[in-house]
């Protein structure tokens, strides 16, 4: 409970400080349909994600939460009538470069590349061609933020579930994405590991991006200032 109060405090302060005037339409998708064979998984008339905002995406198992995040993250295809990103009309496929550089998706069970923790966290910087010194500094900051600095000599394959999730969050955060898509980040965690991950999520929003979290976690769903989206019967409800 102590953790929940502190999280609420952080998010409340964040949103009060930023104010509504800073929020602009970040991503707008119209006519988003996904089929698995003949079955229509979802048919979303309009999905709007604002900048500097946090959303939780709920729904029953199999409702399509992960699929929706994967479509938004460019890992799966769907039928899309129109797509706007930061006010610019974009063709949905091939997945636009602007979206690829601004949106990061994190798996429910993230995998670690078999290199080092620091390389894992700096991977996105490396592929973007960020200078080595700058990348090393950002990686160090991200490791401190995620509380994994003490793990830097550990083989990535030996990390616990909670440590792995925190490294994955650091790997995403270091890129300062405009939109972060988290797929059930606490689903396989309990106790302290879960609390540590929950503590990190509000600070990601505070950093200035938007975040959409698919989850069943009541502590995440109940956060103030977080908008609720629910996938039900193939439709998206905004609450």
Partner 1 sequence: MSLLDATLRAFALLFTGDPDLWRIIWVSLKTSVLGLLLATPPAVLLGYLVAMHRFKGRRIAIWLAQAALSLPTVLIGLLLYLLLSRHGPMGPLQWLFSQPGIIAGQFVVAIPVLLAFTLAAVQAVDPRYAETAVAHGASRVQVMVRVLHEARFGVMAAVLSGFGRVISEVGCALMVGGNIEGETRTITTAIALETSKGEFAQGIALGIVLVTIALLMNGVLMLLQGDAHVARDRP
**Residue 185 binds partner 1 (CB under 8 A):** no
Which residue stretch of 70-78, 80-88, 137-145, 201-209 sits at the interface with partner 1 (rule: CB under 8 A)? 70-78
DSSP summary character for residue 109: S
Among 48, 101, 134, 237, binds partner 1 (CB under 8 A): 101
Strands 54-59 and 210-214: parallel
State the distance between the two ends of the chain, measured CA to CA, in whole angstroms.
Answer: 24
Sheet holding 79-85: strands in order across?
39-50, 25-36, 79-85, 88-90
Site for partner 1 in 117-136 (CB under 8 A): 123-124, 127-128
Q: Which one-letter DSSP state was computed for residue 20?
A: G
Cβ proximity to partner 1: between 28 and 156 the closer is 156
CB of 199 to partner 1, least distance (A): 23
Among the listed ranges 34-42, 43-51, 53-61, 72-80, the one in contact with partner 1 (CB under 8 A) is 72-80
Taking the least distance from each CB to partner 1, the nearer of 157 and 222 is: 157
Token pair of 72 as six digits: 């938004």
155 binds partner 1 (CB under 8 A): yes
How far from 24 is each of 15, 133, 226, CA to CA, in Å? 14, 33, 16
Nearest distance, CB of residue 21 and partner 1, angstroms: 30
Instruction: Produce one character per residue of 100-133: b if its CB has 16 or more CB atoms within 10 Å, e if not.
Output: eebbbbbbbebebeeebbbebbbbbbeeeebeee
Question: Distance between CA 84 and CA 90 in Å, rounded?
Answer: 6
**C-beta of 22 vs 128, nearer to partner 1:** 128
Q: Is the peptide bond before 85 cis (omega within 30 degrees of 0)?
A: no
Q: Which residues pair with 79 in a beta bridge?
A: 33
| Residue number with CB closer to partner 1 (93 or 113) | 113
* Shorter beta-carbon distance to partner 1: residue 101 or 190: 101
Identified binder of partner 1 from the candidate list 24, 35, 91, 109, rule CB under 8 A: 109
Q: Which of 35, 91, 132, 158 is close enough to bind partner 1 by CB under 8 A?
A: 158
Could you say whether residue 156 binds partner 1 (CB under 8 A)?
Answer: yes
**Among 28, 73, 92, 162, interactor with partner 1 by CB under 8 A:** 73
7 contacts 205 by C-beta, under 8 angstroms: no
Q: Which residues bind partner 1 (CB under 8 A)?
A: 73-75, 100-101, 104-107, 109-115, 123-124, 127-128, 155-158, 171-172, 175
């Amino acid at each position: 409970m102590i953790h929940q109060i502190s999280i609420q405090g952080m998010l409340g302060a964040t949103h009060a400080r930023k104010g509504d005037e800073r929020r602009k339409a970040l991503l707008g998708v119209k006519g988003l349909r996904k089929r698995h064979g003949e079955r229509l998984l979802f048919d979303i008339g309009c999905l709007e994600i604002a900048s500097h905002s946090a959303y939780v995406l709920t729904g029953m198992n199999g409702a399509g939460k992960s699929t929706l995040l994967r479509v938004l993250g460019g890992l799966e295809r769907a039928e899309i009538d129109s797509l706007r990103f930061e006010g610019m009309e974009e063709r949905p496929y091939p997945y636009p470069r602007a979206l690829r550089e601004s949106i990061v998706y994190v798996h429910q069970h993230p995998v670690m590349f078999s290199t080092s923790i620091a390389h894992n966290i700096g991977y996105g910087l490396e592929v973007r061609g960020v200078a080595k010194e700058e990348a090393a500094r950002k990686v160090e900051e991200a490791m401190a933020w995620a509380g994994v600095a003490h793990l830097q000599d550990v083989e990535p394959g030996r990390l616990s579930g909670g440590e792995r999730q925190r490294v994955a969050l650091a790997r995403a955060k270091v890129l300062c994405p405009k939109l972060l898509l988290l797929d059930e980040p606490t689903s396989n965690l309990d106790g302290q590991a879960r609390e540590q991950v929950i503590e990190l999520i509000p600070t990601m929003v505070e950093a200035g991006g938007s975040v959409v979290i698919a989850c069943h976690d009541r502590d995440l769903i109940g956060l103030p200032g977080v908008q609720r989206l629910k996938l039900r019967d193939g439709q998206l409800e905004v609450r």
